[in-house]
Chain A
Amino acid sequence: MAASDKIGVTRAWVPWAWSGFLIAVLAFLVLYPTSMLLIGALTTTNPVVEGYKLADLSIGNFLTVAMNPNVAGALFNSLIACGGGTAVAVAIGLGFAWVVVRTNTPCKGLIASAGMLPLFVPPLVAGVAWSILGSPKTGLLNLVFAKTGIPLHLDLYTMPGMIFVFGIYYAPYVYMFTAAALRNMDPALEEAAEISGASAFRTMATVTFPLIMPAILSGMLLSFIVMLGIYGIPAVLGAPANLPVLTTYIFALTAWSPPRYNTAAAVAVLLMIVTGLLVYLQQKVVARRSYTTVAGKAFRPRSLNLGPWRFLTLGLAIVYLIVVVVLPSIALFIAAFRKFLFIRDIPSLFETKQYGWQHFTKMFDNPLTIASVVNSMKVGIITAVVGGVLSFAIGYTITRARVPGKRIIDVITTIPVAIPGLVIGVAYLWAWIGLPGGLYGTLWILALAFVARFIPDTVKALSTSLMQIHRELEEAAWICGRGTLSTIATVVLPLARPGVVAAMTLLFILSIRELGSSLFLYSSGTMVMAVQLLGYYEGGNVGITAAFSLVQMVLLGVLISFTNWLTRSAALQTGGIARSG
């Protein structure tokens, strides 16, 4: 029986039922809250409180927003900051992935692990850490430059400052996508280029990078969109220089007295249109070509021998790690352990009487701190498991299954990517508060919101892995008499396992850090870490904020190391499958 006929013998209603089921789930998770946001943008009332009539809907909010030159200014700043940040992130993330996966640079395992650390840092804390380092008036680096006579003066309260910090913090997103793709790539293609006389760098530019273009584009797009939705970094670095971006503008709208959620929703819809266009463009580019690199043929991962140049790549990696990990960590440690952050000069930085555990003591005296840690871990696990399963189901359906409505599923899945987190929270509240039963006020409603919010990220991450697995592997299983589910379980899932674990890890990290959707859905018994952290920051206590961030970073670090270990053992098993063909 031809492999493609295998699908044909499946009962005809199954594909329809499967698509219907996925669309129903996505309608609940994505379409319903998004429609509440649209209604909010088209009215001047809280749709839950005052209700709405179709006759009341108007584009008044959009006109107000469109005619406000400050919105255009904030949009312009957002595009520049995030565009520049993405360029920096791609340059660093891609270079880093190549160094770690495809070269014989020494200590690359350590470099790879340390390079992921920025992912654990909440953007607000990243902003605070870099303002401690790079403030024009009190920046630690400026004190060091002055003391050592280096004629440099940093000012991160500028557009280049924001671009720099965005870039270094979101490089790991690009790294994650591109490293996985580089790892799964058949090196025979590169070898062919080299045999034909191409230099190592020409091979990289003309074979390696073009082949992993879907991963690069996905990483670029994800970084850009995540940056568009980030509040912490521009709030800390942009505000002193009066550089508003869309998120700080939206936050201001929601914080004003009285809050203007309807206008904020209108700004959010504009942002959705911009990101929607970008997603469409990205999909057009990726759809044009085939990028299958994992086929049934055996291959062995290959390292480029850089010779003495490997010490240059090691040096560059070390510089990156110092800038991204060491310096901000020093700033955070100082903030967490120092009583106050007034640092007159370099000698005063070393006055031991200024340091102690007082911020940690205060933090743990508050029973909500531990409660928030426990709740966040629970929500993180629920989100990673539920979101992982759903994302795999959607990713597989979109990339490989022959079912009706694939395109609709793909489009709905992509929608949340475009909605800024600060506004989506209120949309979830409006949408789900009226649900019958006891869902509201539980950890499950938070988990559902996180699954919905991050489904585009995880589906994209998984689709990248799935797109690389050649159909011939599944066809081989079908020929051997396996059914669809059995093929998925024994062939696709093991091969995509590093991608699945990476996607679930990403989901876990994002849900631990997620603030926007938590703000309106947490209850008196379900405080989570991101909300508690914002509370400490809003309380004006950078010391406790830094101390809590360190706790969060350590927790995430331990958990990620555990999943890394899982991935490695998975890679060993799947490596066996790939190699044995």
Chain B
Amino acid sequence: MGLVAKFGPARAAKPFVPPDSLLEAAGKEGELILYSATFPEPQQEVLNLFQKRFPMVKVNYVRASGGQLITRVKSEAAAGKLDADVIDHSDRGQSMEIEHLFAPYAPPNAADYRPETLLSPKIWPTYTPGWCIAWNSELVKNPPKTWMDLCKPEYGDGQIGQVIAPSGGSTWSRIAFERLVLGEDYWAKQATTKPKLFPSGAPLSDAIVRGEIAIAPLIYNIVYPKKKDGAPLDAVYGPEGVPIVPYGTGIATTARHPNAAKLYLDWILSDEGQTQSIRDQGNLTAMTNPPLAADMFDPKVNKLWAPDFKSLQPLHDKWLEEWNRIYGYRQ
């Protein structure tokens, strides 16, 4: 089994040409400190590409899971010791909590981004992964094709794994999609298959590869690298919609390397940066007109679904409580 990704040239990607003044200023700063909630491997791949492209800026980064990252950022900022130039978070709800710590910033191609994915003029979706249905291709011969299939008794008896709803912003996007698009009773129907619950997507993706679990909803960027390397994994984007998780990234007001930070964000939000994100990471993009057609994503069949965070925020706790009760997760 090899690479099964199919990429199409959606449109001609514009080359990224930063102004000389920015290059010079970033080079003088010589360093960029990134705080990121992204997993170390894909993050390092992105940083390697950036370093190759702009070797005069040395990138150092701190990686922590969502809640820990926010706690660290808030505490450092309060003590006047925030070290980060760029803060990158997968949970936009939590990014909004520290909006005041971000400086005003907009990339040169700001108009290319979907308005519904922009929460604040300071916070930008550097990565936009989407939820898919994944399965172990050695074990599952008749895989589910839709989100509703995950309610079928033939996939019952613990074959399906689920990431717990309170795990963070990514899962919140998915359960909001299930509730609003698939129906108010979707959780109850799906829970009848007695899914096994996992604290996060990473151990769940590993459990599928090993065959402990046969099927699971997962963020595609955790499935894609394994599939690319030949793991017995396959996936599909549900035709009812693809819940997406636009990241919330911005430049800290206290950044000691503001030009290096701007260069990094300009690059990653450009056609060039988003192309590598789609091609190398298995992400989608929040751009209205993507520079590259993503693996497995057929715009005729699949539709992106972005949660409206502001209107959903008041429902957050109530829905999580309901989800926990239905799925028997003890909080």
Chain A residues with CB under 8 Å of chain B are: 46, 48-49, 70, 73, 132, 135, 137-138, 235-236, 239-240, 242, 244, 248, 251-252, 254-259, 261, 339-344, 358, 362, 365-368, 426, 429-430, 433-434, 440-441, 519-520, 522-525, 527, 531-532, 535-542, 544
Contact = CB atoms under 8 A, between A and B. Distances in A.
B330 A70 contact: yes
B200 A538 contact: yes
B64 A524 contact: no
Nearest to A157: B212
A463 B94 CA distance: 47
Contact of A433 (B76, B204, B328): B76
Contact of B211 (A138, A242, A433, A519): A138
B78 to A, nearest CB: 4
Contact of A538 (B48, B61, B65): B65
B230 to A, nearest CB: 6
Contacts of B70: 258-259
B197 A242 contact: yes
Contacts of B120: none
Cβ-closest 7 pairs across A and B? A259-B67, A540-B202, A524-B60, A539-B39, A535-B40, A70-B330, A49-B78
A129 to B, nearest CB: 13
A252 B200 CA distance: 10
Contact of B200 (A138, A255, A519, A542): A255
Interface of B: 33-34, 39-42, 44, 48, 60-68, 70-72, 74-79, 81, 83, 91, 93-94, 97, 136, 138, 166-169, 172, 196-206, 209-212, 222, 226, 229-232, 328, 330-331
Contacts of B44: 365-368
Given A240-B196, A539-B202, A434 B68 contact: no
A519 B211 CA distance: 31
B50 to A, nearest CB: 13
Most buried by A among B75, B81, B166: B75
B74 to A, nearest CB: 5
A95 B119 CA distance: 63
Contact of A73 (B77, B166, B330): B330
B202 A537 contact: yes
B40 to A, nearest CB: 4
B40 A532 contact: yes
A259 B68 contact: yes
B331 A48 contact: no
A366 B41 contact: yes
B199 A252 contact: yes
Contacts of B62: 522-524, 527
Contacts of A73: 330
B209 A48 contact: no
Contact of B231 (A48, A242, A340): A340
A433 B203 contact: no
Contact of B65 (A239, A244, A255, A441): A255
A331 B256 CA distance: 46
Contact of B71 (A46, A137, A440): A46
A257 B169 contact: yes
